[in-house]
Amino acid sequence: MNLSFTIALHALTFLLKHDGECFSSTRLAELMCVNPAQLRAVMKILVAEGYVQSSNGKLGGYSSTARIAETRISEVFDLFRAPTLDSRTLTGKPDSTCEIARNMSSVVSDFAEAEYRLAHEYYTRFSISDILNTIHIKEDIHDKHGSDHAAV
């Protein structure tokens, strides 16, 4: 999991809730409590892949597409998965004289691939609609205990 993945899930869920509405990147970033530049980088990918629509001009911005509701979280996970482990997260060298150092990066890479497969399989069970439904349940519980927030 990484920040881009989380931003994507947040944006898709927000746009699903506000289907038919359009939000500028500045407004969307403000509502999501994220950096506008980070949001735009994520939204560029979501637009290119057809998950979100974008329009230019004074009233332009981002809006949902028909496919958001049933989008599997695993699809979004795949879009924002780092292609390989960063070399700074691996230790050792294949040409080391130490057997541990010689094999550690390979072992950790195998773990990372297994971790990815498990996470991907888990995320196939859920859609963006499921996230929104879970949020509604959490809000109902929150509201029963009293709140002073305004819903957006």
> What CATH number is associated with residue 82?
1.10.10.10
Per-residue pLDDT of the chain (152 residues; tens, 9 = 90+): 789 999 999 999 999 999 999 999 999 999 999 999 999 999 999 999 999 999 988 888 999 998 999 999 999 999 998 766 666 678 888 899 999 999 998 899 899 889 999 999 999 999 999 999 999 998 887 677 766 566 66
Q: In this structure, is residue 122 part of a structural domain?
A: yes
Distance CA 24, CA 32 (A): 12
Range of the domain at 71: 3-144
Instruction: Quote the pTM value.
Output: 0.85
Q: What is the pLDDT of residues 125-145, one digit of tens each?
A: 999 999 999 999 988 876 777
- When divided into structural domains, the chain yields a total of 1
Q: In this structure, is residue 28 part of a structural domain?
A: yes
Whole-number average pLDDT of the chain: 90
Q: In this structure, is residue 58 part of a structural domain?
A: yes
Q: In this structure, is residue 82 part of a structural domain?
A: yes
Q: In this structure, is residue 71 part of a structural domain?
A: yes
Helix (H) or strand (E) holding 56: none
Q: What is the pLDDT of residues 107-124, one digit of tens each?
A: 998 998 899 999 999 999
Q: In this structure, is residue 150 part of a structural domain?
A: no
pLDDT the model gives residue 1: 79
Nearest 5°: the CA angle 28, 55, 12 is 40
Residue 124 neighbours by CB distance under 10 Å: 13
Q: In this structure, is residue 139 part of a structural domain?
A: yes
Q: In this structure, is residue 95 part of a structural domain?
A: yes
